[in-house]
Amino acid sequence: MNKKACEAIPYMNHHSYNIFFTNLANPLKIGIILALRKKERNVGDIAKELSVEQSKISHALKSLKNCKIVNVKNRGKERIYSLNKKTILPMLELIDKHAICYCKNKCCVKEK
């Protein structure tokens, strides 16, 4: 979809929101997103940092890539993953600001 087509859509449909936020609600995928927030990495580096099997990381990255949450580029024989700096990084920064200003860590704790 080109830029003009994206701008013409006033809102995403319910299914699109579901897919997007399901990705963000997954602890493994959030771990990957936060690892990529620091710097771009290959699957092996992400797996090592998160102490998770490489196959699970690859599967999660496929879903994140399909939603354009992460980007991938080939560097020789490696596939290097990075966070979508145009949309996802600003969203994470906004979430950080919201949590600092309004949550005071209260909304981050499960109620009993």
Q: Residue 76 maps to which CATH number?
A: 1.10.10.10
Residue 100: predicted pLDDT: 84
pTM of this structure: 0.80
Instruction: Compute the distance between CA of residue 36 and CA of residue 28 in angstroms, rounded to an integer.
Output: 12
- Say whether pLDDT at 10 is over 80: no
Residue 37 is assigned to a structural domain of this protein: yes
- Number of domains, the chain: 1
Residue 47 is assigned to a structural domain of this protein: yes
Residue 94 is assigned to a structural domain of this protein: no
What CA dihedral angle connects 53, 54, 60 and 62, to 10 degrees? -160
The parent domain of residue 47 ranges over 3-83
Residue 112 is assigned to a structural domain of this protein: no
Residue 103: predicted pLDDT: 81
Residue 98 is assigned to a structural domain of this protein: no
Tens digit of pLDDT for each residue in 29-88?
999 999 999 999 999 999 999 999 999 999 999 999 999 999 999 999 999 999 999 999
